C-alpha cells in the first residue's frame, strides 16, 4: 500500500457460535463480494484462536461471548470516509445482504463496530 494513501477502516468484533464457523465463512465471502462492488478495497475476517479472558476488559467480555462461541475480528478498508459512507449505504440496501437472503450466523446485537481514520500505516 502506498505511504501516500490513508484508507478508512471499519472494524468489527463479534461472538460467533463455534459450530457456525463454516456458515460464517460462507456468509462473509458473500458479503465481501458486495462490499468490494460498492467500493471496499479489502475485507479481512479473522477467527480467534488465542483470545484471552480479561479481568477488566477483553474481546470476550465486550461481546458477552458464551462458552460455545468464538471471537471474530474483522475489518474493511475503504479508500476514504466519503467512499465508505456512500458504499456502506449501498451495501445496506443491497438485496444480496438482506437477512432473508444472507442471515448473520451470529447474534448481531452483540456485534461491536466502528469507523476509523488511519493515522499510521507503516
User: For the chain, what percent of residues have pLDDT higher than 90?
Assistant: 84
For CA atoms 50, 24, 116, 4, give the dihedral sign.
positive
Degrees to nearest 5, angle at CA 46 with 45 and 47: 130
Residue 84 CB-density burial (10 A; 0-12 exposed, 13-18 middle, 19+ buried): buried
Q: Where are the domains of the chain?
A: 17-117
Residue 122 has pLDDT above 90, yes or no: no
Residue 15 has pLDDT above 60, yes or no: yes
Residue 104 has pLDDT above 90, yes or no: no
Q: What is the pLDDT of residue 99?
A: 77
Confidence of residue 4 (pLDDT cuts 50, 70, 90): low
Cα distances from 109 to residues 77, 86, 116, in angstroms, run 23, 24, 21
Mean pLDDT of 72-80: 97
Considering the domain delimited by 17-117, tell me its CATH architecture: 2-Layer Sandwich (3.30)
Mean pLDDT of 55-67: 95
Amino acid at each position: 500500500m502506498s505511504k501516500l494513501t490513508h484508507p478508512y477502516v471499519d472494524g468489527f468484533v463479534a461472538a460467533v457460535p463455534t459450530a457456525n464457523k463454516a456458515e460464517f465463512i460462507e456468509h462473509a465471502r458473500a458479503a465481501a463480494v458486495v462490499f468490494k462492488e460498492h467500493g471496499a478495497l479489502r475485507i479481512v475476517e479473522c477467527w480467534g484462536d488465542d483470545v484471552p479472558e480479561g479481568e477488566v476488559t477483553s474481546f470476550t467480555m465486550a461481546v458477552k461471548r458464551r462458552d460455545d462461541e468464538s471471537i471474530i475480528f474483522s475489518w474493511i478498508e475503504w479508500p476514504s470516509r466519503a467512499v465508505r459512507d456512500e458504499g456502506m449505504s449501498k451495501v445496506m440496501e443491497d438485496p444480496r445482504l438482506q437477512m432473508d437472503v444472507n442471515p448473520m450466523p451470529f447474534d448481531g446485537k452483540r456485534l461491536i463496530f466502528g469507523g476509523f481514520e488511519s493515522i499510521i500505516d507503516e
